[in-house]
Structure 1
Amino acid sequence: MTFTDVPIALTHVTVIDVTGGPSLPDQTVLLTGDTIVAVGPASQVVIPPGTETHDHTGRYVLPGLTDMHVHSEGGDDDERLFPALYIANGVTTVREMWGQPHLHEWRRRTEAGKMLGPRSIIAGPIVDGSPALWEELFNDAPIISVTTEQEARRAVGETKDGGADFVKAYSRLGREPYFALLDEAAKQDIPVVGHRSDLIPLDEQVGAGQRSFEHVHGLWPATADDVERMEAAMARISPEPGFHYANWFKQVNEVEWESVNRYSRASATALFERFVAEDVAYCPTLIMHAAIDLAEGIRLDDQRLAYMAPGTDDMWSFIRDEIFHGGGRSPDEVDKRRRLFDHRRAAVAAMDEAGVRVLAGTDAVTPGLFPGFALHDELDLLVGSGLSTMRALRAATLEPARFLGRERISGTVEPGKLADLLVLDADPLADITNTRRIHAVVAAGRYVGPDERGRLLETAAAAAAAMAPPMEGE
């Protein structure tokens, strides 16, 4: 995949200011290489001779989107599916939450201009307690189980030496290894993000150095009217042999439900204020919870299954029925899960109102989620939960840039910023679903117009069709 050095001009476009300022109509955005070199009124920006010019009258430009929680599957030679789906959906940056060798190869090839894909920030192996929740299903995947301080410190060194950008902490880390992990990561200057630990009160974890927390299922004990008792219930979770994750998931659900029914606004306010004070971000992945909580969340007739391997619908059906639904849900359980999902959405709105840094992420490829497409679904849910369209857009643009320490080079449409852009046919501030009305994408200065975007989707569908069917539980 070659990239041109010819300057590109996007003319007569409305620029969305994701910092919250007014949109700027009739602008020209001038790009050279992978950098924005000018943004200004179309009547004033001088377009150099030989520039590739695209008239975008009536269209809108905003920064390329960032999905802050993905799991991109594939091998070293299979670069036609996930990267293509991200770019076709305007997702120009992803945070990969489980380090795999092919992700580093994709990044090398993308940075060298040999393939078209998003910028990526890549985790190391999952660092979990013992038994690790996923070790039974992914024997060849990078998982580090730690039970001592020394093992935790070694895990940080292994993660950094492996070229990862951050340490991924998981749910079953014990107290001693968890705090050793954070201490060693601080010494080696590598961030720690991931799940909360079941075994340590969340309030303690927020101030300990972990920079972001993922998902909403671990939040509730810390928002109850009896935090100590509910955190103790969380700490008593003990996955049984056979299928650790499924058993753990069921026990977490039971603690969630009891905690939600003991919800305390005072406890929640104190917790969210602590997030703000410690500058800790939250990535709620509401679309993942929708797939799990809502009986209809995993659709087996979705046309986007054309972008997944043959047999994915059967695998998703198995996971939905046997893991998420525990072999079947009664009408009472269906009602409970729906109410629980409503609580999750309300909690995200409360976090946003309190000033917590909310990051848009999806947890693709959780069953029911489609890479690239899922981020637009997440934005819908954020707005439906109570965030303004501006706040939702910021959660997928400026806030990720700030969190990643890249706000000087990305996150807004300004001179000097990276040329990662999304061109829309309608105003996303008027209706967040307009983020799906994609006309073109610019990825590292490469203009992907409507025809090429269509070819990307066709290529992704062909790549998916050629894949071997997934096995149940993969």
Structure 2
Amino acid sequence: MKKTTIKKWSKRISLSLLLLSIIAYFYVDYQINHLWGSHTQVVDSTQFNVPQQDTAIVHVNVLQTDGKQMVANQTVIIKKGVITAVGTEIKLDKTLTIIDGTGKYLIPGLTDSHIHLWQSSNDLLLYIANGVTQIRELNGSLEHLKWREEIKAGRVGPKMFVASSRINSNGIISAWFQKWAMKITSINSFNSADSVVQKFVHQGYDAIKTYTFINNKDYWALSQATKKAATPLLGHTPINMKLEEVWRSNQKELDHIEELVKALIREFGGYNDNNADEFLKFVQSRSNVIANNLVRHKIAFVSTLWLTENFVRQKQDLDKILKQVKLAYVNPGIAELSPLTSRAMGWLPDANIYRLPDSISVRQKKRTVSFWRTYAKAHQILLKAMVIKQVIILAGTDANVPVAVPGFSLHDELISLSKSGMSNSQALLSASRAPAQWMKQKSGMIKSGYRADLVLLDKNPLINIANSKSIDTVIANGKVFHRKTLDAMLAAVKQANDRSRSVEIDEYKNQ
């Protein structure tokens, strides 16, 4: 064969390989964005825009600032997005729009302290429709920062706190892949902790998030870098780190009770069917010491309890829980199976990472269910100790992780907290006053001078915490959204999801 012919075919093969690589890259990139929810039809939220209005809510029962009781027959005045007066003998001027609160209950707008929007902007409407007027995105992106600024400028949505993307330790190739596919930032020889922190602070993130697979050396470098930059460090703890080391770090927020449980499992040496009761006794014996350390070192905790309790339920009977949650409102890209992997972070049976395989034996299933039931009980033991010792607890859901539906799941979380050691009052405060104070905001209480984020309920949540769902009106930064508008938001998201589905979910729909 002539050299010119060989050269010609070499060029053709090289160009073909290059073309195939480009096609493959864009295909994979498309699927990655799809599984994070970006290809779902976006609702035009401008249809729900309303201006701030000066408002008086009259004859209403108002939650006291300490959260312990409702004060009857109150008037609350709102002007330019701020509460200006709360009391009984308040003169109403003619410019105020009147809302009759007779027989209703006014609480602060709720905060979900641990959510994931991924690339699902419709979720912003779900939060408002559920009385969640502030969210804390704990795997942030530049897109989330953009949404945060748009909401400040008037877009309908909750106030946003945005932490950085998750930070692990990875080599160069692994770092590139995880950044692309999993939205994870890596520390390595080419990307120091100082440079990572400086970049995120410059971009405007509210905090830096550390993740599970950061090594101890990089964790301490990150701790020092965030201390130097005077920016909060929050998130997970390194998989091999002892709690005594965490207490000494600059990390002042742990974003799951699970971080404690995993550390205790390591201390105990693991557990199974044979020693589960001994493990729970060990957790009980350590719980007060841990709670005291959290108080001493001023470390806050995000709960995500309901999600943990539902790990075992997804393993026992996934279909049952999918019928119980509001699956119709979950972004279908997030819920469905991705062609890239047999099990991603999907929700449906063919995509759900928590579902046990059909081939598992009865004995294996029993042992697995027993393990995760014990795991949840350990969380409940620690929560009770933290409540007694007055640890700062922030209600959070890990929304968009199966089966935590954005907005709706915070009400489920409050019920779990109430069942596991908190009073109804304490549960409400964990989703209102506590996160506001933790973030040093003038919100989370119904008090003059505070941001007008409020929820008007038909039923008293102090009697039954599930009454937090009985929403009549939501006020976000002085903007009033009545029930009719809230229902329209929900309907719009559901319709957008239905138009975007690849898999029908009629058997699971729960209106």
TM-score by length of 1: 0.85
Q: Say if 1:135 and 1:143, in contact at 8 Å, map to a contact too.
A: no
Structure 1 residue 367, shift from structure 2 partner = 1.2
Give SS of 1:410's match. Answer: coil
Alpha-carbon contact 1:291-1:297 (below 8 Å) kept? no
* Counterparts of 1:469 and 1:187, CA distance in 2: 48
Counterpart of 2:397 in structure 1: which amino acid? T
* Other-structure match for 2:340: none
Q: Does 1:316 align with 2:335?
A: no
CA distance in 2, matches of 1:110, 1:130: 34
Cα distance, 1:3 vs structure 2: 4.0
Please state whether the residue corresponding to 2:323 is helix, strand or coil. Answer: coil
Shift of 1:292: 1.5
Which one of 193, 208, 216 corresponds to residue 175 of structure 1?
A: 216
For structure 1, the 5+ residue unaligned runs are 234-251
Superposed counterparts of 1:420-439, under 5 Å: 420-439=453-472
Per mean C-alpha deviation after superposition, the further-off stretch among 316-325 and 214-223 is 316-325
**DSSP 3-state at the match of 1:123:** strand
Larger deviation: 360-369 or 330-339?
A: 330-339
Question: Does the 8 A contact of 2:311 with 2:354 survive in 1?
Answer: no
Q: Residue 91 of structure 1: which of 125, 132, 144 is its match?
A: 132
Matching of residue 301 in structure 1 with residue 323 in structure 2: yes
Q: Is the 8 A contact 1:83 1:118 kept in 2?
A: yes
Q: Would the aligned equivalents of 1:147 and 1:174 in 2 still touch at CA under 8 Å?
A: no
The question of 1:12 aligning with 2:34 is answered: no
Quote how far apart the aligned CAs of 1:268 are: 2.3
User: Would you say 1:203 and 2:244 are equivalent positions?
Assistant: yes
Whether 1:156 and 2:197 are equivalent positions in the alignment is yes
Query: Does residue 311 of structure 2 align to residue 278 of structure 1?
Result: no
Distance, in Å, in 1 between the alignment partners of 2:276 and 2:254 is 20
CA distance in 2, matches of 1:212, 1:91: 21
Match of 1:239 in 2: none
Where does residue 120 of structure 1 map in the other structure? 160
Residue aligned with 1:452, SS: helix
> Structure 2 residue aligned with 1:82, among 112, 123, 143?
123
Secondary structure at the aligned position of 1:430 is classed as coil
In structure 2, the residue matched to 1:260 is 279
Per the TM alignment, residue 216 of structure 1 is displaced from its structure 2 partner at its CA by 2.8
Q: Separation in 2 of the partners of 1:186 and 1:466?
A: 47
Asked whether 1:63 is paired with 2:108, we answer yes
Q: Distance in 2 between matches of 1:343 and 1:414?
A: 37
C-alpha displacement at 1:290, in angstroms? 2.2
Q: Is the 8 A contact 1:92 1:420 kept in 2?
A: yes
Q: 2:228 aligns with which of 184, 187, 196?
A: 187
Query: What one-letter code is carried by the residue in structure 2 that aligns with 1:376?
Result: H
Counterpart Cα distance in 1 of 2:69 and 2:412 = 25
- 26, 30, 33: which is aligned to 2:80? 33
Residue number in structure 2 paired with 1:244: none
Deviates more, 1:458-467 or 1:66-75: 458-467
SS in 1 for 2:500: coil
Counterpart code for 1:369: A
Q: Is the 8 A contact 1:103 1:122 kept in 2?
A: yes
* Contact kept in structure 2, 1:84 and 1:116, CA below 8 Å: yes
Structure 1 residue 332: deviation in Å?
A: 2.5
Superposed CA offset, 1:199-232 (max 9, x none): 21122112311111122333136557x94x64xx
Say whether residues 1:388 and 2:423 are aligned partners: yes
How far apart, in 2, do the equivalents of 1:210 and 1:465 lie? 42
Distance 2:469 2:84 in 1: 27
Q: Which stretch shows the higher mean deviation, 5-14 or 52-61?
A: 5-14
Deviations 1:314-359 (A, max 9, x none): 6323577545647745123213322321221222111111111111
d(CA) in 2 for partners of 1:429, 1:127: 39
Give the equivalent residue in structure 1 for 2:494.
461
TM-score when scaled to structure 2?
0.79
- Measure the CA separation in 2 of the matches of 1:319 and 1:206: 41
Match of 2:341 in 1: none
Shift of 1:287: 1.9
Tell me which residue corresponds to 1:47: 92
Task: Give the structure 1 partner of residue 30 of structure 2.
Answer: none
Whether the 8 Å CA contact 2:112–2:132 is kept in 1: the answer is yes
Deviation at residue 133 of structure 1 after TM alignment: 10
Map of 1:247 onto structure 2: none
Q: Distance in 2 between matches of 1:220 and 1:21?
A: 30
Aligned residues: 438
Determine what percentage of the aligned residue pairs are the same residue.
Answer: 28
CA–CA distance in structure 1, aligned partners of residues 66 and 327 of structure 2: 36
Give the 4+ runs in structure 1 shifted more than 6 A. Answer: 131-138, 256-259
- Residues 287, 381 of structure 2: 8 Å contact kept: no
Greater Cα offset, 458-467 or 187-196 = 458-467
Q: Deviations over 1:160-190 (max 9, x none)?
A: 1221110000011112111111111111111
Which of 145, 157, 162 is the equivalent residue of 2:186?
A: 145
Q: Secondary structure at the match of 2:259?
A: coil
Return the match for 2:452 from 419, 438, 462.
419
What displacement does 1:440 show? 0.6
CA distance in 1, matches of 2:466, 2:56: 26
Q: Which amino acid in the other structure matches residue 93 of structure 2?
A: P
> Equivalent residue of 1:215, what SS?
coil
Which structure: larger Rg? 2
Q: Hey, what does 1:375 align to over in structure 2?
A: 410
CA contact (8 A) 1:192 1:210 kept: yes
Structure 1 residue identity aligned to 2:294: F
Mark the CA change 1:133 to 1:394 in structure 2 (over 3 Å): closer, same or farther: farther
CA change 1:306–1:5 in 2 (3 A) is closer
Deviation at 1:149?
Answer: 11
